[in-house]
Chains A and B, each alone.
Chain A
Amino acid sequence: MSSAPSPAPAQVDVQADAVVQVDDLSISYASGRRDVPVVRGVSLSIRPGRALGLVGESGSGKSTVARTLLAHLRRGSRIVGGRVTVAGSDVFALGDRERRALRGGTAALVAQNAGQALTPSMRVGRQLREALESHGLPGGHERVLELVRHVRLPDPETIVERYPHQLSGGQQQRIAIAMAIAARPRLLVLDEPTTALDVVTQAAVLELVRDLSVELEMAILLVSHDLGVVSAMADEIAVMRDGVIVEHRQTAELFADPQHEYTRELLASAPRTSATGLSAERGGGRASAPPPPLVTAADLVVRYARSLPPAVDAVSFAIGAQETLAVVGESGSGKSTLATAMAGLIPAESGTFTFRGDDGIEGDLTRPVARRSLDLRRSVQLVFQNADTSLNPRRTVGAAIARPLRLFTGSTSPDRVAELLEEVGLTPDFASRLPAQLSGGQRQRVGIARALAAGPELIIADEITTALDVRVQAGVLDLLTDLRDEKGLGCLFISHDLAVVRGVADRVAVMTGGRFVEIGSTEDVFSGPNHPYTRQLLDATLDPGTTVLRGVDDTTRTWRDADGWDDLGDGHRIRRWESA
């Protein structure tokens, strides 16, 4: 076919044997009486054994394009022009029966949230058997076990007997991949496959996918907003914006020499662990005269129920005034529990946890919020992970900010609300909008404004950028660091993303299993020497531009806790360990 002239040099050698061939695809979505174009003139092709990364922000149309490869369109959308060919047949010309054969047979999808992709009431073994049998393959016990072994899950015999909720997120995603490859598809579509996973699990899952694609000669389309993931996985990358591919290049070329302005912007805003941080020089100047700590915790224990092991186990740390302490760790490490306890939403079981503010406000942070003084509540403010759910959908932005103003300062005025909105980089007219009319980044800014309204001395930021696109994330992080410097706020910054932490934090604490294993200044922690767990996290973190996956094993622990700490000087301390 005569392919349309495309801006991408990589597409000139379009091969006849490509598994996927998308030509000049345009899709629009009916919104009310208007037709909104979602995808405009997208062309791409993928050969067997090759991986194409589709990068863009939410709303750029990357998922829409990816799903057309499985002949799936969202309700209300329609193809305006162009065609999608998978394994030689036009997918939108297929009948129902052929379409079913395509889905899962020729092309398979691995969705973002494996927990939702698996049926909760069915043992995973049976779900795998179903995946086999629905494509006319023999679904014997041996075949199912073989699939489980294929995705490198330990102890297949017990895994197949489990229900999805008994598996970890990484294991669920592996089962989802096993289901996808059950019928030996020629194309695997991965839609943000690791967004919900920890860095360590992410690295292991990506490695698995790459090995499988080589082994089974599959073409891969990887949709992600994470430049690190895409660069490590894909042979070539297409950058999408507003439904158009703005740049399409070989991975190495794209990172070495981005042509389009938008690509450059994206690359610039992506946080890196290796880069010299935004605030690297900040920490150095201050270390000479340490101010008295704002928050001091010693042997803090937090437990959800008496019968459960403690979620936070004998943790000690201090946050100085105007200092940002980042706590990193995988999900379930207890880092969010620490934040919740500091906010007073669950009481601490034992240990000391005190707050000593600049203007003489003192308080005991082990107490629940109901028993804290108004001043203490005002001084410690929380910013939430998910801006979508942190604002009441029925109340305007103005009302959301006015509420803490009235509660903590006793008075509120539209002027003060407008002032706060401007402080977080929004305009005063946002006051009359509802959260639904805001983008994710704007909502997170409102969440910050709401915290600032109280006039706090300490901000607890719990994974505040996890749900945001890179560029928006960079904006929110800049805002947070600016405000912190301007107002002299202390900050407890919770994150699972080391790259984000690097640019924001003065000091970093690494947490796993409810305990700190390492704490020290950002520079020291990133340069090492490290605790093996920190090392594992650092190795698994994918910087944009990395083209290799360092083999990270997420299943076995190579170390065991030992008593005591090693002090490496300058406040850098590592928990003793022995190899296991």
Chain B
Amino acid sequence: MTRSTTDATGAAVNAGPGGLPGRIRGVATSLTSSLSGSAALTIGLGLIAVHVVLAVLAPWIAGHDPVATDSTVALTGSTWTHWLGTDQYGRDILSRTLNGGRYALLVTFLATTIAVGIGTVLGCITAYADNWFDEVVMRIVDALLAVPSILALLVVVTVFDSGLWVIVLAVTVVYAPAVTRVVRGAARTIITQDYVTAARARGEKPLSIVFREILPNVMDVVLVEYAMRASWIVLLISTLSFLGFGANPPTPDWGLMVQENRTALTVAPLGALAPIVALATLVIGLNLSADGLSKSLGIDRAQKGAVS
């Protein structure tokens, strides 16, 4: 089944060994082919894209300052000036929801990237090391996995403050161990492959083997892991805010908004519903992407015969 791909990259002949244009083109073709193959992935990435665009453009399209209070218009329903109404302090719900997306996406992106990054590197290294280092790291991972994530976060946030970086780092500590474990499993199957043996027989340095031979081949697992962890982290951060340990008022945060507006649910239902809908669509988008990615990457792998 490699016939179609041969045609595609046969054109990139002049891109010498490891040529960057060829590689980018290769990634692009594989991405478009997996996109066209999976409806779940298309919808998922579409939802995420909508969230990102709205978050980036929030200051210009929101129309109101998300933290400006105006007691004269508290708890109105939908009006021409406030499309989704206002909350008990007269803040515009649409503006708060849109700006809340900025905060949610930023924290999620940072926390997920750092957690998955650390977990991936650690996972590959421990898988390759397979000695006392592996033992030590994996026992620490076991210990961290045994701690309930919400409790750990609550402790961290209570001891320190609930600033952005504290939350990001706390989430990293909670999620990196799980990623380490998953990536380590994937990397262990790569290590038995002959190209890793070939690198060892050449006398390559261990870190060079990890980064050149192992890491590129667990990237698909990492990608799926990234999308899945991101959806959990969005929920976790909102949960923290809802419980009052996350973002400080008056920061526009979805979890915080639901918490603040749930008492006024009967008067101004949109105050709680809007952030819930926003949160749900983002999580669904991330989940669909993870699902679609794992399917299309899985099929890719089987077709390319990379893994039997």
Contact = CB atoms under 8 A, between A and B. Distances in A.
A417 B17 contact: yes
B266 interface: no
A398 interface: yes
Interface stretch (A1-9, A401-409, A471-479): A401-409
**Size class of A's contact patch?**
35 or more
Interface string A371-403: 010100100011011101111111111111111
Given A392-B217, A394-B216, A436 B200 contact: no
**Size class of B's contact patch?**
35 or more
Contacts of A496: none
B287 to A, nearest CB: 26
Contacts of B148: none
B263 to A, nearest CB: 54
Interface stretch (B2-10, B71-79, B227-235, B245-253): B2-10
Nearest to B4: A32
Interface stretch (B86-94, B97-105, B123-131, B201-209): B201-209
Interface stretch (A17-25, A42-50, A127-135, A425-433): A425-433
A455 to B, nearest CB: 13
Interface in B1-59: 1-6, 9-10, 12-19, 22-23, 26
Contact of B18 (A372, A396, A404, A429): A396
B291 interface: no
Given A32-B4, A389-B195, A407-B202, A434 B18 contact: no
A369 interface: yes
Contacts of B19: 396, 432
B200 A345 contact: yes
A117 interface: no
Given A377-B203, A434-B9, A31 B194 contact: no
Contacts of B308: 388
A392 B216 contact: yes
Contact of A31 (B4, B23, B202): B4
B1 A432 contact: no
B130 to A, nearest CB: 14
A289 interface: no
A370 interface: yes
B225 to A, nearest CB: 17
A36 interface: yes
A384 B200 contact: no
Given A392-B213, A414-B17, A386 B201 contact: no
Interface string B182-225: 00000000000111011011111000000011001101000000
A321 interface: no
Nearest to A374: B203
Contacts of B306: 393, 436
Nearest to B304: A436
B191 to A, nearest CB: 11
A350 interface: no
Given A345-B200, A432-B22, A437 B17 contact: no
A395 B203 contact: no
B16 A437 contact: no
Contacts, number: 107
A407 B208 CA distance: 12
Given A431-B16, A437-B6, A369 B203 contact: yes
B216 A436 contact: no
A393 B217 contact: yes
Contact of A404 (B4, B202, B305): B202
B198 A432 contact: no
A395 B18 contact: yes
A473 B229 CA distance: 47
Contacts of B16: 398, 414, 431-432
Nearest to B198: A390
Nearest to B5: A437
Contacts of B204: 407
Given A396-B22, A414-B17, A369 B200 contact: yes
Contacts of B304: 393, 436
Contact of B201 (A36, A382, A396, A399): A382
B197 A436 contact: no
A386 B196 CA distance: 13
Nearest to A387: B194
A450 interface: yes
A369 B201 contact: yes
Interface in A437-455: 437, 450, 454
B217 A396 contact: no
A343 interface: yes
B93 to A, nearest CB: 47
Interface string B56-88: 000000000000000000000000000000000
A53 interface: no
A384 B17 contact: no
A344 interface: yes
Interface string A351-382: 00000000000000000011010100100011
Given A429-B13, A434-B26, A395 B198 contact: no
Cβ-closest 8 pairs across A and B: A398-B17, A390-B194, A394-B216, A436-B304, A393-B306, A399-B18, A429-B13, A384-B194
Interface of B: 1-6, 9-10, 12-19, 22-23, 26, 193-195, 197-198, 200-204, 212-213, 216-217, 219, 304-306, 308
26 contacts: A36-B3, A369-B200, A369-B201, A369-B203, A384-B194, A386-B194, A390-B193, A390-B198, A391-B195, A392-B212, A392-B216, A393-B304, A396-B17, A398-B16, A398-B18, A400-B195, A407-B203, A429-B13, A432-B14, A432-B19, A433-B6, A433-B10, A436-B2, A436-B5, A436-B304, A437-B6
